[in-house]
Structure 1
Amino acid sequence: MELTLLQILWTGKDSRVEGGAVAGSVYKVIEIIGTSDTSWEEAAKSAVEEAADSLDDLRVAEVVQLDMHIVENKVVAYRAKVKVSFKYHKDA
């Protein structure tokens, strides 16, 4: 049985079969907000790139909310709230 990526993210477990044995992986999901003065796409990309600087084994990023920061009736920043999943490694 092969799990879809959505099932893996939902359960936090990857129990696909590898080499005849059940492999188990755990993923942590965090929410971060990226900003850009040009677009939501750049805001989301910025969030993932910043997360990649401090987290290992990033797996999936899901944009969950888009909004804008407005000052004096003008859009000054695009913001993207992103859920990022990464593989959890137990401390040795």
Structure 2
Amino acid sequence: MSVLKVIEVLSNSEKSWEDATKKAVKHASKSVKNIRSVYVQDQSASVSDGDVTEYRVNLKITFEVN
């Protein structure tokens, strides 16, 4: 039987929501091992002068506990 844990992570990127998600997983994997999945719970963006300047994601990362 496996035990799984879920943490909530916020991330941002100037490129895209996808990039923000990848950055969050890469950063979390430095201290969290056995990451199994990521669920994008929410997306938002900052706008300045009619242009999107920053993409933001709120993620739930699931990992296996040893």
Q: Same fold (TM over 0.5)?
A: yes
Q: Aligned partners of 1:71 and 1:26: how far apart in 2?
A: 44
Identity of matched residues, %: 35
4+ runs of 1 displaced by more than 6 Å? none
> Comparing both structures, which one devotes a greater share of its residues to strand?
2
TM-score by length of 2: 0.87
5+ residue gaps, structure 2, are none
Which position in structure 2 is the counterpart of 1:43? Answer: 20
- Structure 1 unmatched runs, 5+: 1-23
The alignment's TM-score, normalised by the length of structure 1, stands at 0.65
Say which structure, 1 or 2, has more relative contact order (CA 8 Å, 6+ apart): 2
Higher helix fraction (1 or 2): 1
Count residues with an aligned counterpart: 66
Deviations 1:27-86, CA, capped at 9 Å, x for gaps: 000110111101111011111111111101000111111101234554221011111011
